[in-house]
Amino acid sequence: MDLDALRTADFSLLDDAVEDWSTMVGDLETLMDAAEKGLRGAANAANWAGYNATVSKEFIGKTSGEFADAHSQASSIHKILRDTRDELKKYKGQLDDAIERGRQRHLTVIGYEGGFTVTTDVPPEGRAKQDQDKKGEITALRDDIQKILDQATESDSSAGKVLNAIADQSKLGFSDVDYADRDEAADALKKADELAKIVKKDPADLTIAEFDRLNAGLKDFGDDPLFAERFAADLGPRKTLEFWTGVTNRYTNSDVFRDRLDQLDDMQRNLGLTLATASQSDSASMTEWKNNVIELGEKRIGSPTGPMGFQVMSNLMRVGDYDDAFLNRYGTALMATERALTDNGSRPNLAWRHGGAAGTTQDLNRIGEDSGADPLTGFLKGLSNSPDAATQFFNQEYVSKDDPNNPFERDSDDENTYKGKVTLSNFQYLFEERDWPEEMDSRGKALHTGQNNLALALEAATTGHPAGELPTVDTPAHNREQTRLFESLVSSISDSPGRLTDNGYMSDSVGQITSEYLPDINRALTDDSDGDTDKLFPVAGSSATLNHRDVTALLLSVGQDPEGYSAVEVANKAYMANLMDYHMNPDLPADARYSKDTQFAIEQLAHGSGEVSGTLAIGRQEAVAGPAKESDGAYDASVAQWKNAISGGIGTGIGVGVTFIASPIGGAVASGAAGTVSSMILESLFQNAQGSALDDAGAVIGEKWESGLDTNAAYTERAAELAAKAHDRTDLQDKSIDERARSAAQDGFRAAGTNTEYMAPHLKTDI
């Protein structure tokens, strides 16, 4: 900064800018609160269905989030401008004071473009001698002024860098940057530059101290948008991949590998989370980074025999929420390489196996026990954190039926059962056809990490929320792409149940998926051709089109795993209780009612719930009495765990908003509040699940089938009783609605046995 620029600076325009941004922050805070409490709150409580549920509600949720991001970004900009203005005013005052001190000592400061000079204030002819006599004072004043100008320059330039970095974060909408002051944002950029220099080094030259410094820095700053973008952009994609390849190779840097082996998992997480944060940036640098890292996917990293770029990068994608557009382009390129290396899936992918002549012997993954040689394993784990990207990926075409090199044939529906080429989606290829690499853990037990991650990614893709979480009132209703994928999943399991029953480790995710499609499943169980029962089992958003036979096969298959069984059974109890609560509400609009006869409606939904539970019970019977030989105690323990997780919450699973849900004392309740009909039913389920394995084992192996039937009926009876009390429906209580619900539930439970005999006899053990 030039001396005269600071000395003559007029801060009035900057003052106006700071004031304007202050006003904007206040206005945005008002809008943010209104959007969150009013718009978003009303949307979550609304009983929306169809287009409004899939599009309008999701749009309102995202809009509300944009207001929050806009407020956060505006607040950061205001603080940065305010801090910079105040600092520049301070430096101007210090400059004026320094010049005045010099004047009092007969020194003058002369500014010019690019610099300044300090001299004595005597006439030119005597100045040389005076300057020499006052050389010490001149030098001291010059140094003081230069220090002030340097500080002002740093303040001004760092503000410019930070403001530009914030502006570059998002081309559309707003970024979620949030800084307390200018220095905090500037420190993030400075730290990124420092740590990027470490990673740019040859991994062989990395010291243990540098490894520790890098690991700590990424942990502290990895979720900072400005830091992450600057770090990744400084580093570049090739250096990123070369770094991880190097530090995970025992021969590249034996000192670091030996002494920090137990911290490589933390480094993988911290680096992966940082890159995930960086990927959300729309800056030109990160756009180039994302393009180039995909281009490096088929290239060897580190050496001509090193791992492929996809193998390295996919292991860094196991954690964090990567940009959806990047994930989709990366996944498309990854599957293209899979096709090339397997001749469209006709043979195993030897290049992505651990060891062997074609594979890599390096352990690129340090989170868990699989080696990371198969990039699909890490990529699918990344998709499990990004639902929208996962949905799009699985619905993409893997190979067309018109491809002359398509190796896949299926029986057609014609009477000649002609085998012809079929088009496969990414889901069908990965779930049904792929030859997954085999690996063993340290105990010699087979690892199935890839297929387990596949199930997690499918969970995210079909439910709309990250795997391992439960739906909330903010979870968007299912859209057509999600329901289409669920339809494919159900059909696939029905066609070949072993795809799930032979891979039980996938059942927890498939069980969670199934639990969130209970309205769609119950619709299929009614065999209602004209759709009248759609109002009995309302669906918010898109509805999956299923048939009774496939649903029966799905429930039987899921029921053969304790976690899968528990996810669906516990959710089924909560769903049944919530639906009874919903249909008994006297204020339910006429166009939302299934029947004017509420008693009939309650009997019908009790029957459907009973059939779901009965079919699951037969699946449980298969596991206990059939080849699986599972301990029945594992089921009871898992039921207890799932009950604690759900806790009677009202999420997207019920298919309606919370508006018509009451508590037993008659007041409206929020999602998950204690005292709801469903929470009380689940509490009973939890209590009965404790320590009942020995007492109730007979119920699931057939000898005491009636015991299981009666237990299920008891929950249904209790739910009807509580719901009637919650809405003060004495008219229904007078008609013994609880007893009628119990009887209907028993009928549904028994119907499961009959339907199983005719629809899925190949899945049932003869006891």
Whole-number Å distance between alpha carbons of 204 and 247: 8
Highest mean pLDDT of the ranges 109-113, 521-525, 734-738: 521-525
Measured CA angle at 511 (ends 449, 757), to 5 deg: 120
Q: Can you tell me the mean pLDDT for 679-699?
A: 54
Q: Can you tell me the mean pLDDT for 529-540?
A: 86
pLDDT value for 755: 75
Q: Can you tell me the mean pLDDT for 163-191?
A: 68
pLDDT value for 483: 95
pLDDT value for 41: 54
Does position 325 have pLDDT exceeding 60, yes or no?
yes
pLDDT value for 520: 92
Q: How confident is the model at residue 154 (pLDDT cuts 50, 70, 90)?
A: confident
Percent helix, percent strand, percent coil in the chain, to nearest 5: 65, 5, 30
Beta carbons within 8 Å of 567's beta carbon, 6+ residues apart: 508, 511, 512, 514, 515, 558, 642
Whole-number Å distance between alpha carbons of 723 and 584: 7
Measured CA angle at 452 (ends 449, 458), to 5 deg: 140
Write down the domain spans for the chain: 3-168, 187-360, 470-763
Q: Can you tell me the mean pLDDT for 451-478?
A: 90
Residues 195-222 have pLDDT tens digits of 999 999 999 999 999 999 999 999 999 9
Measured CA angle at 555 (ends 553, 560), to 5 deg: 100
As a whole number, the mean pLDDT across the chain is: 82
Burial class (CB in 10 A: 0-12, 13-18, 19+), 683: middle
Whole-number Å distance between alpha carbons of 700 and 759: 20
> HEC states along 379-439?
HHHHHCCCHHHHHHHHHCEEECCCCCCCCCEEECCCCCCCEEECCEEHHHHHHHHCCCCCE
Residues 341-381 have pLDDT tens digits of 999 999 999 899 887 656 677 899 999 889 999 999 999 99
- Could you tell me the pTM of the whole model? 0.78
Whether 45 and 657 have beta carbons less than 8 Å apart is answered as yes
Does position 181 have pLDDT exceeding 50, yes or no?
yes
Q: How confident is the model at residue 152 (pLDDT cuts 50, 70, 90)?
A: confident
Q: Can you tell me the mean pLDDT for 113-134?
A: 80
Residue 441 CB neighbours (<10 A): 12
Does position 72 have pLDDT exceeding 50, yes or no?
yes
Alpha-carbon dihedral of residues 539, 543, 547, 551, nearest 10 degrees?
-70
Does position 670 have pLDDT exceeding 60, yes or no?
no
Which tokens is 474 given?
Answer: 């903010």
pLDDT value for 767: 38
Q: Which residues pair with 120 in a beta bridge?
A: 107
pLDDT value for 457: 97
Q: How confident is the model at residue 472 (pLDDT cuts 50, 70, 90)?
A: confident
Per the listing, tokens 């509400």 go with 585
Q: Which amino acid is at 377?
A: T
Does position 12 have pLDDT exceeding 80, yes or no?
yes
Query: Which architecture, in CATH terms, is 3-168?
Result: Up-down Bundle (1.20)
Q: How confident is the model at residue 69 (pLDDT cuts 50, 70, 90)?
A: low
Of residues 685, 426, 646, 428, the one with CA closest to residue 516 = 646
Q: How confident is the model at residue 766 (pLDDT cuts 50, 70, 90)?
A: very low
pLDDT value for 700: 43
Residues 727-753 have pLDDT tens digits of 888 888 888 888 888 888 888 888 877
